[in-house]
Chains A and B, each alone.
Chain A
Amino acid sequence: MPNDKNYFYIPQIKKRNQKATLFKATTLLAIIFSISFLIFFLVDIVRAGYPAFTQTYIQMDVNINEEVVENPYSALKGKNLKIASRAWLRDLPNLIKENPSWMNTTQTLWVLANSEVDQYVKGKESRTHERERVYVDELRADGKVERKFNTIFMTTGDSKIPENSGIYASIVGTVLTIIVTMVIAFPIGVMTAIYLEEFAPDNRWTQVVEVNINNLAAIPSILFGLLGLAIFINFFGVPRSSPLVGGMTLALMCLPVIIVSSKAALKSVPSSIRQAGFGLGLTKWQIVRDHVLPLAMPGIMTGSIISIAHALGETAPLIIVGMIAFVPDAATSFTDASTVLPAQIFTWAGMPEKAYLERTAAGIMVLLVVLLSLNAVAVYLRRKFERKW
Chain B
Amino acid sequence: MTIKMSAIALLSVAALSVAANARDQIKIVGSSTVYPFTSYVAEEFKATTGNPTPVVESTGTGGGMKIFCSGNGLDTPDFTNASRPMKASEFKICADNGVTDITGMMVGFDGIAVAQSKTNGAISLTKEHLFLALADEVPSKDGKSLIKNPYKTWNEIDAKLPNRKITVYGPPATSGTRDSFDEMVMEAASKKLDAYGDKKGKYKAIRQDGVFVPAGENDNLIVQKLTKDTAAFGIFGYSFLEENGDKINGANVDGVAPTSENISSGKYPISRSLYIYAKNSHRGQVKGMDEFLKLYVDAKMIGQKGVLKTIGLVPMTEDELKKVQAAVLAKTKLTEEMVNKHTILP
Interface residues of A (CB under 8 A from B): 87, 90-91, 125, 127-129, 157, 159-161, 180, 183-184, 186-188, 190-191, 236-241, 244, 322, 324-329, 334-337, 349-352, 354
Contacts and interface: CB of A to CB of B under 8 A. Distances in A.
A191 B5 CA distance: 13
Nearest to B54: A326
B139 interface: no
Interface stretch (B150-158, B171-179, B250-258): B171-179
B27 interface: yes
B27 A240 contact: yes
- What's the dominant secondary structure at chain A's contact region? loop
23 contacts: A87-B47, A90-B48, A91-B47, A127-B221, A128-B220, A159-B43, A183-B6, A183-B8, A183-B9, A184-B6, A191-B2, A236-B13, A237-B17, A240-B27, A240-B57, A244-B13, A322-B57, A325-B56, A328-B43, A329-B46, A352-B171, A352-B174, A352-B175
A161 B40 CA distance: 8
Given A322-B57, A337-B55, A352 B25 contact: no
Given A90-B44, A240-B27, A325 B17 contact: no
Given A127-B216, A127-B219, A328-B53, A334 B43 contact: no
Interface residues of B, number: 41
B62 interface: no
A164 to B, nearest CB: 8
B16 A335 contact: yes
Contact of A160 (B9, B43, B48): B43
Nearest to A232: B13
A335 B19 contact: yes
- What's the dominant secondary structure at chain B's contact region? helix
> 8 shortest A-B CB distances, which residue pairs?
A325-B57, A352-B217, A187-B2, A326-B56, A337-B55, A326-B39, A352-B175, A160-B40
The interface centre, meaning the residue of B9, B42, B53 with most chain A CB atoms within 10 A of its CB, is B9
B216 A180 contact: no
Interface string B21-32: 000010100000
Contacts of B9: 180, 183-184
Nearest to A336: B25
Nearest to B48: A90
A160 B35 CA distance: 10
A310 B266 CA distance: 49
Nearest to A87: B47
A236 B10 CA distance: 13
A299 to B, nearest CB: 16
B222 to A, nearest CB: 10
Nearest to B36: A160
Contacts, number: 99
Contacts of A326: 35, 39, 42, 53, 55-58
A159 B52 CA distance: 14
B330 interface: no
A128 B220 CA distance: 8
B277 to A, nearest CB: 18
A349 B175 CA distance: 11
Interface in B244-284: none
B20 interface: yes
B216 A329 contact: no
Given A187-B6, A325-B56, A325-B57, A236 B17 contact: yes
B130 to A, nearest CB: 21
Contacts of B89: none
Contacts of A190: 2
Contacts of A350: 174
A266 to B, nearest CB: 15
The interface centre, meaning the residue of A237, A322, A352, A354 with most chain B CB atoms within 10 A of its CB, is A352
Contacts of A127: 216, 219-221
Given A161-B43, A352-B216, A239 B20 contact: yes
Nearest to B178: A352
Interface string B217-248: 10111000000000000000000000000000
Contacts of A337: 25, 27, 55
A267 to B, nearest CB: 20
Contacts of B53: 157, 326-329
B194 interface: no
B120 interface: no
Contacts of B8: 183
A277 to B, nearest CB: 21
A160 B39 CA distance: 7
A191 B3 CA distance: 10
Contacts of A334: 12
Contacts of A236: 13, 17
A324 B57 contact: yes
B337 interface: no
A90 B25 CA distance: 21
B52 to A, nearest CB: 6
B298 interface: no
B6 A188 contact: yes
Contacts of B35: 326
A222 to B, nearest CB: 15
Given A328-B43, A352-B216, A354-B216, A239 B12 contact: no
Given A160-B36, A191-B2, A237-B17, 11 more contacts: A87-B47, A184-B6, A236-B17, A238-B13, A244-B13, A324-B57, A325-B57, A326-B58, A328-B43, A328-B46, A329-B52
